[in-house]
Structure 1
Amino acid sequence: MAKEAGGPNPRLPFLIMTSPMTHGQTVGFFEENNYFGASKEEVWFFEQGTMPCLSPDGKIILESAGTVASNPDGNGGLYPALQRSGCLGRLQSLGVKSLHVFSVDNPLCRPADPCFVGYCLARSADCGNKCVWKASPEEKVGVVAKKGGRPSVVEYSELDDARKNQLDATGRLAFGAGNICNHFFSIDFLANVVVPNMAAMFHLAHKKIPCAGEDGKTVKPDSNNGLKLEAFVFDVFPMSSKMAILETKREEEFAPVKNAPGTPTDSQGPDSARAMVSALCRSWIEQAGGKLEGSKDEVVEAFNREQNCSSALADQMAENWTAARMQGVGCGGWQAQGGCPGGSAPGLASNQNVCPVQLVFHGFRV
């Protein structure tokens, strides 16, 4: 599809927003891993901004003697950062027409998903949002709704109990379109609508902010003592003149990592996300005619550069492919055997449609 639209060697710039605290470590990680098979020129790093922390009466807080306490300006800092870094101008000069924006904590996200991007383009949308339906009224995610007649994300805390539990005619939650930070924006919308109007997008958040004590040394407070200014990526939705919303399947595209390792499997930690990735990869292999032997509790991970992963695997797999058990460090896993062009180096054959299934040792590969 990309070759048909963009010629024989289409390129997709991959933009990564960091904070001043994480920038060096993030860039170094990509360099150490040879950009995970991507071209260095296609991966653009840019930093979000920071905002000073304020006391409840609006005064700037000092973190230590001579140092202002500050915080990253939220994921809504994307927009001024794109402009300030020159990335927005570079995209325009390359003729890029739209962006797919997503958060870092969802390993099931499908970057540049042709279904989502095509859906938005087909509707001439300047803004799009992919969502999953809430699993229950109590699930703590914001929902897409109209607010003041404009498309918006209404935070969980903003919904009263009546609206949280309200059902539509089909018996589903009326306010159930859960926001998963998976968005589409046209470049024209960002350049001509968002950037000129982004100054008034900040929210106040009451937080525990390390501050200077009487001796000038940093003290960590036991309770909220100040305010952080943050912007959210969805704050621009009300600016949209034509927004598209696409619902997707949770089990295929939403495995959030919000909590620390070791938390219960249903609490959005690494273990639950790993299980969802494994289940999806297992289904791809089985739909493509592959066979998996052994325990269903083993971790399965398949890499594929196609979005329709089961059909792409089927195109590449021999009819008699099976997955053999692979011994790992402290845990078991699977590795696909047979028929894969490009050898057995997982994730390194940049021109192949399918890469071997591989063991996840500690978390996820990028």
Structure 2
Amino acid sequence: MSSEAGGPKPWMPFLVMTSPMTHKQTVDFFEQHSYFGMTKEDVWFFEQGTMPCLTPEGKIILESPGSIACNPYGNGGVYPALKKSGCLDKLLSTGVKSLHVFSVDNPLCRPADPRFVGYCLSKNADCGNKCVWKASPEEKVGVMAKKGGRPSVVEYSELDDARKTLRDSNGRLVFGAGNICNHFFSVDFLTEVVVPKMSTMFHLAHKKIPYAGEDGKPVKPESNNGVKLEAFIFDVFPMSSRIAILETFREEEFAPVKNAPGTASDSPDSARSMVNLLCRKWVEKAGGKIDGDANAVVEVSPLVSYAGEGLTERVAGKTISAPCHLE
């Protein structure tokens, strides 16, 4: 296929991992919104698998008299799901060389970020991780470090106080490269290294798991009563022979939504505020002025600008009334 300018037409598939519990709702949502400007054929949905929940003694837990309690693999389920769904083979057959993988709960994420992808390619990396520096030693995020001589994400709970607060001569945290679930992978790395080792990636997580009581009625436990098997997406980092790490600015690329509305941090409210502040910065840098309540949201559609570029003709010398959505 060719573009109107005569060169090759850009093509980039968008892969969306769902769970059996969310698959239909997710597909329906994309259909209702006309796949957000993409063609239906270029959006590939694939489901992650599930594992049975177990008692601490290793017995299967029943959710009801006729069904087993199951849980999704965790975000590390992306690897077996890519293989089982046929998406990995499809990527290979269509000539896709690398993937930008990110979580859904970050509205400031830049999909297929050319800076990040280009950096990883320039380093001939098989795996890459985009990080933001921790705001404080207490911030509950995993960090990039070496564990057993291999690149790894070390969880917040695994760092002792001495390492958690350790600073270099410039006063910067030594263990500060916070993991934000924003990764690069070569397709060859997934195919040749990760897929053959998928069975070794599971962790035990002790959880409160609803179960069927002796009378068959559902019971919601008040304390941990079972074990879930989970895999984390960063479990493959130690398998990498050429990992690349790129630090970025929190205020530009990391607005996580993990807590309920009304929570002071990592909530829909805090994410909305960060989107507002960034988009206002873009508009003002391009010569525009913004009138109205400073808390009223200004949002620039990604179809108008990817990272603040190309706004001068649209806003220079103009006054925009907030709230507004530039589209």
Interval of TM-score (by shorter of Structure 1 and Structure 2): over 0.9
- Residues 1:170 and 1:108: Cα distance change in structure 2 (over 3 Å): same
Contact 2:106 2:256 in 1 (8 A): yes
Contact 1:73 1:229 in 2 (8 A): yes
DSSP-derived class of the 1:245 partner: strand
DSSP-derived class of the 1:292 partner: strand
User: Who is 1:313 aligned against?
Assistant: 311
Contact 1:56 1:226 in 2 (8 A): yes
User: Who is 2:324 aligned against?
Assistant: 334
Give the Cα–Cα distance (whole angstroms) in 1 for the partners of residues 75 and 164 of structure 2: 25
Give the Cα–Cα distance (whole angstroms) in 1 for the partners of residues 216 and 201 of structure 2: 33
The 5 Å alignment of 1:170-319 reads 170-264=170-264, 267-305=265-303, 309-314=307-312, 316-317=313-314, 319=316
- Residues 1:239 and 1:307: Cα distance change in structure 2 (over 3 Å): farther
The aligned length equals 323
Give the Cα–Cα distance (whole angstroms) in 2 for the partners of residues 309 and 196 of structure 1: 38
- One-letter amino acid of the structure 2 residue matched with residue 322 of structure 1: T
Give the Cα–Cα distance (whole angstroms) in 1 for the partners of residues 194 and 69 of structure 2: 28
Contact 1:114 1:307 in 2 (8 A): no
DSSP-derived class of the 1:128 partner: strand
Moved more, 120-129 or 64-73: 64-73
Give the Cα–Cα distance (whole angstroms) in 2 for the partners of residues 335 and 223 of structure 1: 45
CA offset digits 1:66-117 (Å, max 9, x no partner)? 2111100000000000000000011111100000000000000000000000
Give the Cα–Cα distance (whole angstroms) in 2 for the partners of residues 60 and 318 of structure 1: 60
The 5 Å alignment of 1:59-138 reads 59-138=59-138
Give the Cα–Cα distance (whole angstroms) in 2 for the partners of residues 307 and 149 of structure 1: 41
CA offset digits 1:310-337 (Å, max 9, x no partner)? 23212x4263232134xxxxxxx1245x
Structure 2: any 5+ residue segments left out of the alignment?
none
Contact 2:305 2:311 in 1 (8 A): no
Displacement over 6 Å in runs of 4+: none
User: Who is 2:150 aligned against?
Assistant: 150
DSSP-derived class of the 2:310 partner: helix
- One-letter amino acid of the structure 2 residue matched with residue 105 of structure 1: D
Give the Cα–Cα distance (whole angstroms) in 2 for the partners of residues 186 and 309 of structure 1: 24
State the 1:11 CA deviation: 1.3
Structure 1: any 5+ residue segments left out of the alignment?
326-332, 337-355, 357-366
Contact 1:76 1:233 in 2 (8 A): yes
User: Who is 2:16 aligned against?
Assistant: 16
User: Who is 1:139 aligned against?
Assistant: 139
State the 1:306 CA deviation: 7.3
Give the Cα–Cα distance (whole angstroms) in 2 for the partners of residues 74 and 272 of structure 1: 25
Give the Cα–Cα distance (whole angstroms) in 2 for the partners of residues 300 and 249 of structure 1: 20
State the 1:309 CA deviation: 2.8
What percent identity do the matched residue pairs reach? Answer: 71
When normalised by structure 2's length, the TM-score is 0.96
> 1:324 and 2:314 equivalent?
no
